[in-house]
Amino acid sequence: MDTDRRGFLGVAGVGVIGSAFFGLRELIRRTEPNRPPIETSPTPSRIGYGFLVRDADGILDLPPGFSYRVISRRGDEMDDGLLVPGAPDGMATFAGPDGMTILIRNHELNPDGVGPWGKSRKRLSRVDQRMLYDFGHGTAPGCGGTTTVVFDTQRQKVVRQFLSLAGTTRNCAGGPTPWGSWISCEETVQRIGPGDKGAKYTAERDHGYVFEVPATDQIQLARPIPIKSMGRFNHEAIAVHRSTGIVYETEDRTDGLLYRFVPKSPGNLAAGGRLQALKLIDHPSADTRNWDSKSRNLPVGERFEVVWLDMHEVESPKDDLRQRGFIAGAARFARGEGMWSCENEIYFACTNGGRRQKGQIWRYIPSPLEGATDEQRDPGRIELFIEPNDGTLIENADNLTISPWGDLIVCEDRTTPEVRLVGVTPDGECYTFANNRLRTEFAGTTFSPDGSTLFVNIQGKGLTLAITGPWRTI
């Protein structure tokens, strides 16, 4: 990811979310300890899964007893005759029929990326043009969007995979809904016309929106309808508050905001609603990034009451929502990225927050009156969950999920010789769970509904992996 750019039907369709976290978190105070290489580093016995075993194939190091399969690769032919696009990113799982797992996967691609059409777009004719959000005048159709993988966890085998959203651009993360769909987010503000400087494509439509993709095991494309009332900005991830249907949204900018969308009709986002930005009641226009050592930084574990500010002109062509929101008093965050909900808490990562810009993870606790007119009688609260400022613990947190036993599993976004999946306990302690040696970021970490399988992408190599092993049950 660029440096400046996760009354209802039940929740049975959504992947395993995990149990709630309790209690205040302590700042991890260790700084730059002398440690052996990551792949041989021991983990204290009370957390994590211990040493990592070096993979003979040079792809993924895992703890003893764990194994992985590459279940999908960039360029594989799918069951609809199209090709698996490159740059797989955010994902979520849903319970399918006959015990199947439905995995929906984003692709963070521009129109000139390695898309589903193949060389010279020879396979583009397989798709009805009306099902592409941006046809790109036929010469540069959107290559992002989503693919769906139907997976049998018992046999650890792909049943089928297919394109499920077409013609969008730079679909980075998003999130699952309690009503059985995936919200796919465009991390771009590309307007109609030529692409970025040097790009050899022209857009037919404005971008910077979110799209809803039904979770289905049947080969089909979702209608590419942008949910414009949820805002036009550099979207990253979303999380849904299950009891109200309110959707929280991160913005991948170094000066981004945290938004929420209050729908008119819970579960029907296309019906519209209000877009709002988070403000700390006692600290208007707060800078949560903690970059400036001369200013009062926000401490780990302290909770701050919030109010939500109504945003206007949410489709502004100027890409200025975050500037207008900050001037009005909204808090500023350092590249909001992955996001996940559990019980009555929302966790989200800020990739380069913190004194040393190694990243932060925040926790939002919604009000018991979240979204109601009298919400300020008992406002929501936000706290800085961890800010390690120590790259040996975690560096540049990106996509994240919550495990069945309650730990966060966090993807690192970096290009060092070892890139890690890091576990974070409810007490804020970090441990390395996995390490890829392909010098490209992890993305899309998510568990199957039965808790047996952790799916993750190695983005730059276009790989989707399924990891199994002796997971904790509590």
Residue 474's pLDDT is 64
Question: Beta-carbon neighbour count of residue 104 at 10 Å?
Answer: 29
What is the residue type of 273? G
DSSP codes, 199-242: ---EESS----EEEEE--SS--PPP----GGG--S-EEEEEE-T
CA distance 466 to 452: 10
CA distance 198 to 204: 18
Residue spans per domain, the chain: 38-441
CA distance 113 to 135: 14
Cβ distance 161 to 466 under 8 Å?
A: no
Residue 217's pLDDT is 98
- pLDDT-above-90 percentage for the chain: 84
- Between strands 247-251 and 336-342, the pairing is unpaired
CA distance 65 to 105: 27
Residue 47's pLDDT is 87
Q: Which two tokens stand for residue 138?
A: 């036929």
Residue 116's pLDDT is 98
Question: Beta-carbon neighbour count of residue 353 at 10 Å?
Answer: 28
38-441: CATH topology is Neuraminidase (2.120.10)
* Overall residue count recorded for the chain in this entry: 474
Backbone angles phi, psi at 270, to 5 degrees: -65, -15
Measured at the alpha carbon of residue 73, what is the angle toward residues 71 and 78, in degrees to the nearest 5? 85
CA distance 298 to 431: 24
CA distance 191 to 177: 28
Beta carbons within 8 Å of 387's beta carbon, 6+ residues apart: 27, 290, 300, 353, 354, 355, 359, 360, 361
Whole-model pTM? 0.90
Cβ distance 333 to 258 under 8 Å?
A: yes
Rounded (10°) CA dihedral 141, 144, 148, 151: 130
| DSSP one-letter code for 59 | S
Beta carbons within 8 Å of 321's beta carbon, 6+ residues apart: 231, 232, 233, 257, 277, 311, 313, 314
Q: Which two tokens stand for residue 289?
A: 């990034």
CA distance 276 to 239: 15
Residue 199's pLDDT is 77
Gyration radius of the chain's alpha carbons? 21
| DSSP one-letter code for 132 | B
pLDDT mean values, one per 10 residues, the chain (474 residues): 31 34 26 32 64 96 98 98 98 98 98 93 96 95 97 98 98 97 97 82 95 98 98 98 97 98 97 98 96 84 97 96 98 97 94 95 98 97 96 95 96 92 96 96 98 98 98 80
Q: pLDDT tens for residues 33-49?
A: 333 333 333 344 478 99
Residue 417's pLDDT is 87
